[in-house]
Amino acid sequence: MNVKLEEFFANKKLLRKIIKKILLIITFTVALIFALFNFDRVWGFITGAISLAAPFFIGIAIAFVVNVLLKFYEEKAFAFLNKRNGRIWKKIRRGVCIFLSFLTFVLVIGGIILFVVPELVNSVKVLTDNAPSYINRLMQETTKLLEKWNVTQEQINALKLDWSSILTQATQVTTNFMGSVFNITVNVANAIFIMAMSFIFCMYMLVNKENLTTNLKRVMYAYLPNRVAKRTIDVAILSNKIFSNFVRGQLTEACIWFFLIYLGMTVLRLPYALLISAIVALCSLIPIIGPYISMFTAGFILLLVNPWHTLTYLIFFLILQQIEGNLIYPRVVGTSIGLPGIWVLLAIILCGNLFGMVGILLGIPTFSVIYTLLRGDTSARLRKKRLTTEQILRNSPYEAHSPDDPEQTVLEEFKKNSGK
């Protein structure tokens, strides 16, 4: 026993590793205890640091969206020029494509602000002004219908809601919201500074994205073990792929829904076509359940105007949802995130409660990354144990099987697809 202890203490390399791990555990424990007992201070420091770094984060967000357009221009729109390998085009390609990407981005945002927003504001104003008359007419129609079903007046009165109180509360919420928006936009100079700095960060990242990627890889391999650095880079590549697919897929989905809903409602002569189209497009950014949220919201708006409009819209929406979901979306967008519905709901509930709408939009692709890594790790562990899905389902995992199991990890499939 003493000999083993002497050998252990003589192995200085192993001893250093153990001491480092012990010190790391102690440091982490002390930091965690400090954070728990001083949560307000720690949270205030984190939020302050995030606000200071706001231009950087906004720049990353803008660069991420604009990079989708940049890839389109570089790889598809000017593919015929790329094949020629001209010297001049190689020098100016990135600059031209960045200019066109920002021009497209600004034109889209500017078009929405100049043409769509005023119409939306007007639609909301008209809807708010007419809401009392809509509600009274709806109550009258409901009362007539209940009377036909031999419902007594006392029962009808019991079912009636204080719509004026509800409308007053809704107006108060809207007023408070507008006041909050006003307070946020008071400091215009600060907002301009943040956007200017964000634009600079965005331009720098887009122009030098290859150099930035190379330098980050060099730093990781320099300061981390090779295995950890490689794993980190693989996760970063996977995350970039999933987030890019999510942004491209959901923006395309939103545009498709907007034009289809607006066109259909215009043909059917339903009111508030632009407002409802915008609501559907915004809700469609949330996969799976987003369109259904917009369906009930739009149905309620139309119900205030005319119940038959609601019925017409619901039939039209359900037919359109089947056509779009089964024919258009798989061909135009494809599987943007590859996340099962239960995981989407979990991401919406958890991230939505913690961070609101931003949490929903960022939480879904984040959960998709976690799900993909978990699937890959599960497949790798089962393959190491030489287990197949069929054997697990038969509850006889140790039966004879082929060592050349064709099942591949998700990360390996991703590497193959990204290499094409």
What are the φ/ψ torsions at residue 236 (nearest 5 degrees)?
-65, -40
What's the pLDDT score for residue 333? 56
What are the φ/ψ torsions at residue 359 (nearest 5 degrees)?
-65, -35
What residue type is assigned to position 382 of the chain? L
- CA distances, 100 to each of 66, 73, 96, 106, 116 (Å): 10, 8, 6, 10, 23
Q: 360 near 286, Cβ under 8 Å?
A: yes
Provide the residue-wise pLDDT of the chain in tens; the chain has 420 residues: 555 556 655 666 777 778 888 888 888 888 888 888 887 887 787 777 777 777 787 888 888 888 888 888 888 888 777 777 777 877 888 888 888 888 888 888 887 777 777 777 777 777 677 767 766 776 776 666 666 666 555 555 555 555 556 555 655 655 554 455 445 545 556 667 777 777 888 888 888 888 888 888 898 889 888 888 888 888 888 888 888 888 777 888 888 888 999 999 899 888 888 888 888 888 887 777 778 888 888 888 787 777 788 889 999 998 888 887 777 766 665 555 667 777 777 887 888 787 777 777 788 888 888 888 888 888 888 888 887 777 777 765 444 444 444 444 444 554 455 444
What's the pLDDT score for residue 152? 56
Q: 279 near 106, Cβ under 8 Å?
A: no
- CA distances, 71 to each of 57, 67, 78, 120, 206 (Å): 21, 6, 10, 32, 11
Give exposure, 29-66, as e/b (b: 16+ Cβ within 10 Å): eeeeeeeeeeeeeeeeeeeeeeeeeebeebbeebbbbb
CA dist 370 and 386 (Å) reads 24
Q: Helix (H, G, I), strand (E, B), or coil: what is residue 412?
A: helix
What's the pLDDT score for residue 149? 65
Q: Is 338 left (phi over 0), alpha (psi -120 to 50) or beta?
A: left
Cα atoms in the 13 Å half-sphere on the side-chain side of 40: 0
pLDDT in tens, 109-152: 887 777 777 777 777 777 677 767 766 776 776 666 666 666 55
Q: Which helix (H) or strand (E) holds 385?
A: none
Report DSSP state, residue 289.
T
Q: 257 near 324, Cβ under 8 Å?
A: yes
Structure tokens at 162: 């204080």
- Whole-model pTM over 0.85: no
Closest C-alpha to 332, from 255, 227, 389: 255
Closest C-alpha to 255, from 358, 329, 337: 329
Residues near 261 by Cβ (< 8 Å), separated by ≥ 6?
273, 276, 277, 280, 281, 317, 320
CA dist 55 and 60 (Å) reads 9
